[in-house]
Structure 1
Amino acid sequence: MKNLYIRLIFLFIGLFLLSSCSDYLDKEDDVELTLDAVFESKTKTENWLASCYSRIPDPTWGYTRSLGWEILADDMSPSERWRQYGWEVIPFALGDWAVSSTWGPGYWNNLPQRIRECNILIKNIKPIPSQNLTESDVKLMIGECRFLKAYYYSLLISTYGPVPFNPDEITPVDFNLSDLQVGQTPYDEIVSWIDNELKEAEKVLPPSYTDSKYGRATSIMCKAVRARMLLFAASPLVNGNPDYAGHLSKDGKPLFSASYDANKWKIAADASKDLIISAEVAGYKLYVEMNAVTGKIDPFLSCQKLHLVEYNQGNKEVLFARPSVESKEYDRHTAPSGSGGAGGYGVTQSLVDAFFTANGLPITDPASGYVENGFSAEDGYWTNGSTKWNEVKSPGLVTVAGTYNMYCNREPRFYLAVNFDRAWYTDGANAGKDQGRKLDFFSGGKDNNHTHDAPQNGYLVRKRTDPTRDPLRDYFAPRQGILYRLGEAYLNYAEALNESDPGNADILIYVNKIRERAGVRTYTTGATDTQNIHVDSDQASIRKIIRMERRVELCTEGIRYDDLRRWKLAETVLNGPAYGMNFNGKNEAEFYKRTAYQTRVYKKAFYWFPIYLAEIEKNPNLVQSPFWAN
């Protein structure tokens, strides 16, 4: 029986072996093994560890398509008709979501399997001197598994809230069914365990890797996961939310705390500050490219290349990466159909509106200079921009003559995130050359064939796409996927500090570090001038600018959905019509008008994924997620 169990485990490992961590994780075709034999081989031990890593999400294609974090939020919008090709989350965004709905990533079942594999390794691993697996190696591998267990639990509670919790469980071969029928543990208890486990793991892990181990757990990854989790735990959704006061386990225990705890914000602020200080001491820093002409920060190259340059190439902003991801599919689906792409993955009008103007003000500010209607009379240039990021036609060009005014006079991050009609576009074949073309999103135009492979709301995503991609020649450069970066940590710290210690000078310091890199004016509580924008110092005003900055800086990175959830804004923001330009428009008069292209539905239940009805039926000790009906 034991041999059968081990054969099944290795069959499972063969299916899910992590291919993105390093070459050292090669798999051998040996499935006739006892558990002792696995951990008497360095190679097989490393293979086992590889399987433990195999459920780390893909932060390019995974967040956007499989997990659906950006589809469920209000940044990115795929062609609705892609649902016929297995895009399971598209119906969720439209309100078609039930306890029987399938969801490919399947965290409820898959993550506990990885956690159990971590526990098996922790229990059985040992040094193998003859194969150069040292005591130090064993200590590191155990630390990695402790990190992975805590990380996977953080994903579980972010998705489902309270979950069954037995962090050291190893299911025996002769288990009784009742051993597996475990109810949920309160949310805060699991947060406390994850917090402590990450602090213990970081004690034995190095702060970084630059060799073949890049992508494996580090002390900085422990701190990054901890800081993001604690920010979520301090937020209104789970910090004294009265909506969950009656959400009890089967034995009558409250699964969420009904009491607001202001100290949770201080704990979150301290965790983010600890992450920032430790990371900077270890050599991490915001990614910045300097402009050779002006000698100042180049906002275009800085904000574009931070998503393309890898850690060992000088991008020290990356705190936690998956070394190899499905970037090809992300690049293909965001590329215009006129250049061989699938051409249907766009951004929303609300994201277009969220970007600041060139003078750093929101478009709603009368002093921003924003003009929505009409067309530009001449080409537009960013005077302090890059001479390299968009060399087509002319250095520094951001808009060509005849561009809809809505897209003119905007900040650098806008031009790096949004492909709009008449944006100057260069495909891979022409990258770096003085040639290209204007995008044509009119119905029947080069980039809108009016099928499912066309921008249903008049926009395509540009952010995190590779400018050298060439779908016509099937060329897509591989790259890493970034799960955590220092820029987010700065904004996490500013938010938690504003809630725990309003008026603290660090708040604007760290928000301004992000804005300075982006090439827009920074904030001050003093007078507005050519370099600074006045903002009132009260907590509500600072909260507003922090949230606006998060929306722009972190857009399309898988963070917006959790922000809307934890702020308890999802049922407001994600309900009602979603707007873009008119997909059916064949000319300027028809295309350039705000048009509702779909109606979003977000119910109170949707803050948490439901537990599959089949799981509820199998386990009488489970309670369904809040406001979901079995």
Structure 2
Amino acid sequence: MKTLNLFKYIGVSAICLVLNGCSDFIDNAPDDQLTLEMVFNDKTRTEDWLANIYSRVPDPYWGYANKIGWEIAGDDMTASQRWVQWWGGTLLNFRVGNFYTSSDWDARFWNELPQRIRSAYILINNAHANPLQKVTEEDIETMRNECRFLIAYYYWTMTEAYGSVPYFGDVVDVNAPLEEMTVGQMAFDDMVDMLDKQLLELSGKLPAKWEEAFFGRATSIACLAVRARMLLFAASPLVNGNEMYKGFLNNDGKERFNSAYDPNKWKKAADACKLLIDKAHEAGHGLYYEYINGKIDPFMSCYNLQLKKTSEGNNEILFARPDCNYGDWEGHSTPRGCGGNGGYGVTQGLVDAFFMKNGQSPILGYNADGSPVINEASGYTEKGFSAEPEIRETNWDPCRKYQGVKSGQITTPNTFNMYSNREPRFYLAVLYNGAWFHQEGRMTEMMSNQADGGPTHDAPQNGYLNRKKISLESIPRDGKRPYRPGILYRMGEAYLNYAEALNECEPGNKDIILYLNKIRERAGIPEYGTGTDNNGFQRIPYTDNQATVRELIRKERRVELCCEGIRYHDVRRWKLGEELLNGYDYGMNFGGTEYSDDASNSNAFFVRSKCLLRAFQKKQYWMPIHQSEVDKDPTLVQAPFWNTNE
């Protein structure tokens, strides 16, 4: 099929059919509404039907930030608490422990994804070749396989959120007996095993790539990417040997989670990740690079991998949503005095996580009072301000229009030293007070009563705004926001997934550091090992044992994949929620009115300060099923601990 446009949505009458999907509706449909026969006898309507099934692929911009809320639930990004008043279904209340089985969640996975799954089954059962409209049986079989992929993907999306969901292998007649419609939930491992087989089989049937006009359609590589991430999750401590769930049963009497540790799950995950990498390489995928003077330009490479399409040479993308709400993402990341809303930022914890330009971690941990344990070898300091602009070898030009700007200038004089000499990815993700904002021809002014600061809630709640996936070509006041794809899976993650899984099942394997170093090389920081690396840096020695390398991988994941909807799931699957998602988020002094780092001055802005107090209980590893759904279906068993005070 050659004309499916994933930007297009199904017509109103057909939507009614999708959402009802029952024989009574069809039999009694008025003349101005569509029947299944009318839909699948027409090429355009069939394509619209398929596009509607794709329409619930998550939006990794505003969807992850607001509607779904994975970024809000994690520890990398923050949002104005006033969003609770505007959008009550966000996870802001979840973040502070004020969430219940009766709380609304705008993701609506439980209601809306099954609708798309049902629609996918309807297409599989009813779509057919149409020679008069040049629709071949091969076209139809490809569409069926796309539907099978989306069914598996949506079931995993729900399982990842809830831990256990009912599974239906076909359309269920709405007039069927109650026992056929209320089947209870499937055990986590059983669902993973079934989806694993389905995705692997589909990877041999779907094309490895599409022409650019069909960007966003399912491929064999997308199947392997979803499968690899799923198996990594399934091998992780939350669901592999976690005795916390021992004895927790589904309606059928089977344990929801297998509490016995299975080391082979890590081997299975590693093999899946390696298969993905190999097949992706064969299909032309790889890390995205840009160069300057014959060398990797880490700024432009990491910047444009988020903004460029495959037609522009970005072969790092493995699966993406073509139409996303990056406008709201960018608007809320833009200072309020610069034509934006200014309420969406990053945490001090993420600021601390980025490496220095010498590849060292600036912060080794935190004291009981929240103060940082500084790594003196990194050259990091939280005192003073820069005397000179910082110059790097790059074509990235955030300081354009600055008076006397120099080639490769990434900061201006008088930048707080906390933000000096950091790795390239830091500057691409963090907009701090005193950064040059070229669209306005001035520095950001985030102190209280300044243009971009408080006391309004439309300001950085902890002194930072997000800069990840933000285009320098945007003009906020004119509403100009260049297109960018919504990347859901990419090669950089695949490399890190493989390194992690391999470290757990075969510590010491040379591929672990090889793939970890590929990420660091592209990021423009020294690799791990001995001697000189590919960028001419002296490599950083490390101890080659499992625990040490595990920590190196986790640190790299946080900075490489930050603000991409992955961090919260990492914290969950590592079973670190109680440790990392409890206590205060920190930032700069939101109420500060002076451009100072004097900790004894209550008006000094550049002082670590407590912001939002978070709360995480063990029940929050899984989203609860809304109580109204449990009340309707006696076979549903609520997620662990949501019906207790634990």
User: Cα offset for 1:390?
Assistant: 4.6
Q: Given the alignment of the two structures, is residue 397 of structure 1 paired with residue 402 of structure 2, yes or no?
A: no
RMSD over aligned Cα atoms: 2.0
Picking from 132, 140, 143, the partner of 2:134 is 132
User: Cα offset for 1:241?
Assistant: 0.7
Picking from 606, 614, 617, the partner of 2:620 is 606
Aligned counterpart, 1:533: 540
**1:52-451 correspondence runs (5 A):** 52-86=53-87, 88-166=90-168, 168-291=169-292, 294-364=293-363, 365-382=375-392, 384-386=393-395, 388=397, 390-392=399-401, 393-427=405-439, 436-451=441-456
User: Cα offset for 1:171?
Assistant: 2.1
Contact 2:357 2:421 in 1 (8 A): yes
Distance in 2 (alpha carbons) for counterparts of 1:70 and 1:462: 14
**Aligned AA (2:394):** G
Distance in 1 (alpha carbons) for counterparts of 2:321 and 2:186: 30
Please give the per-residue CA displacement for 1:453-474, whole angstroms capped at 9, x wherever unaligned: 1101000001101212222122
> Residues 248, 478 of structure 1: CA spacing in aligned structure 2 closer, same or farther, 3 A cutoff?
same
Moved more, 85-94 or 294-303: 85-94
| DSSP-derived class of the 2:154 partner | helix
Moved more, 399-408 or 239-248: 399-408
Picking from 447, 455, 464, the partner of 2:469 is 464
Q: Given the alignment of the two structures, is residue 622 of structure 1 paired with residue 610 of structure 2, yes or no?
A: no
User: Cα offset for 1:449?
Assistant: 4.0
Distance in 1 (alpha carbons) for counterparts of 2:481 and 2:249: 50
Picking from 544, 562, 581, the partner of 1:555 is 562
Indicate the percent of aligned positions where both proteins have the same amino acid. Answer: 51
Distance in 2 (alpha carbons) for counterparts of 1:563 and 1:449: 33
Picking from 489, 492, 496, the partner of 2:494 is 489
Distance in 2 (alpha carbons) for counterparts of 1:30 and 1:98: 44
Distance in 2 (alpha carbons) for counterparts of 1:611 and 1:568: 21
User: Cα offset for 1:385?
Assistant: 3.2
Q: Given the alignment of the two structures, is residue 584 of structure 1 paired with residue 586 of structure 2, yes or no?
A: no
User: Cα offset for 1:40?
Assistant: 1.6
> Residues 386, 7 of structure 1: CA spacing in aligned structure 2 closer, same or farther, 3 A cutoff?
closer
Contact 1:7 1:32 in 2 (8 A): no
| DSSP-derived class of the 1:624 partner | coil
Contact 1:387 1:395 in 2 (8 A): no
Aligned counterpart, 1:20: none
Moved more, 493-502 or 110-119: 110-119
Contact 1:82 1:452 in 2 (8 A): no
| DSSP-derived class of the 1:165 partner | coil
Moved more, 586-595 or 297-306: 586-595
Please give the per-residue CA displacement for 1:309-364, whole angstroms capped at 9, x wherever unaligned: 11111100011011111011111000011211001111000000000011000003
Contact 1:94 1:600 in 2 (8 A): yes
Distance in 1 (alpha carbons) for counterparts of 2:221 and 2:263: 26
Distance in 2 (alpha carbons) for counterparts of 1:106 and 1:492: 28
User: Cα offset for 1:616?
Assistant: 1.1
Moved more, 475-484 or 30-39: 30-39
Distance in 2 (alpha carbons) for counterparts of 1:348 and 1:275: 33
User: Cα offset for 1:169?
Assistant: 2.7
**Aligned AA (2:419):** Y
User: Cα offset for 1:79?
Assistant: 1.1
Contact 2:307 2:483 in 1 (8 A): no
| DSSP-derived class of the 1:105 partner | coil
Normalising by structure 1, we get a TM-score of 0.92
Contact 2:436 2:442 in 1 (8 A): yes
Distance in 2 (alpha carbons) for counterparts of 1:108 and 1:476: 33
Distance in 1 (alpha carbons) for counterparts of 2:579 and 2:593: 33
Distance in 1 (alpha carbons) for counterparts of 2:11 and 2:79: 41
**Aligned AA (2:437):** Y
Length, aligned pairs only: 602
Moved more, 473-482 or 118-127: 473-482
| DSSP-derived class of the 1:381 partner | coil
Moved more, 86-95 or 527-536: 527-536
Aligned counterpart, 2:479: 474
User: Cα offset for 1:388?
Assistant: 4.5
> Residues 276, 424 of structure 1: CA spacing in aligned structure 2 closer, same or farther, 3 A cutoff?
same
Aligned counterpart, 1:25: none
Contact 2:473 2:481 in 1 (8 A): yes
Q: Given the alignment of the two structures, is residue 504 of structure 1 paired with residue 509 of structure 2, yes or no?
A: yes
Please give the per-residue CA displacement for 1:357-379, whole angstroms capped at 9, x wherever unaligned: 11000003321001111212222
Aligned counterpart, 1:24: none
Contact 1:207 1:282 in 2 (8 A): yes
Please give the per-residue CA displacement for 1:104-160, whole angstroms capped at 9, x wherever unaligned: 121111111111111111111111111111011011011101100100011011000
Distance in 1 (alpha carbons) for counterparts of 2:419 and 2:640: 42
Aligned counterpart, 2:529: 524
Aligned counterpart, 1:433: none
Distance in 2 (alpha carbons) for counterparts of 1:299 and 1:30: 60
Distance in 1 (alpha carbons) for counterparts of 2:19 and 2:432: 41
Contact 2:17 2:35 in 1 (8 A): no
Contact 2:162 2:624 in 1 (8 A): yes
Contact 2:335 2:341 in 1 (8 A): yes
Normalising by structure 2, we get a TM-score of 0.90
Distance in 2 (alpha carbons) for counterparts of 1:13 and 1:386: 52
Distance in 2 (alpha carbons) for counterparts of 1:527 and 1:606: 45
> Residues 577, 552 of structure 1: CA spacing in aligned structure 2 closer, same or farther, 3 A cutoff?
same
Contact 1:374 1:404 in 2 (8 A): yes
Aligned counterpart, 1:38: 39
Q: Given the alignment of the two structures, is residue 11 of structure 1 paired with residue 20 of structure 2, yes or no?
A: no
Distance in 2 (alpha carbons) for counterparts of 1:465 and 1:579: 23
| DSSP-derived class of the 2:106 partner | coil
**Aligned AA (1:593):** V
| DSSP-derived class of the 1:483 partner | strand
Distance in 2 (alpha carbons) for counterparts of 1:404 and 1:265: 43
> Residues 230, 129 of structure 1: CA spacing in aligned structure 2 closer, same or farther, 3 A cutoff?
same
Contact 1:324 1:478 in 2 (8 A): no
Contact 2:619 2:640 in 1 (8 A): yes
| DSSP-derived class of the 1:249 partner | coil
Contact 2:299 2:396 in 1 (8 A): no
| DSSP-derived class of the 2:352 partner | helix
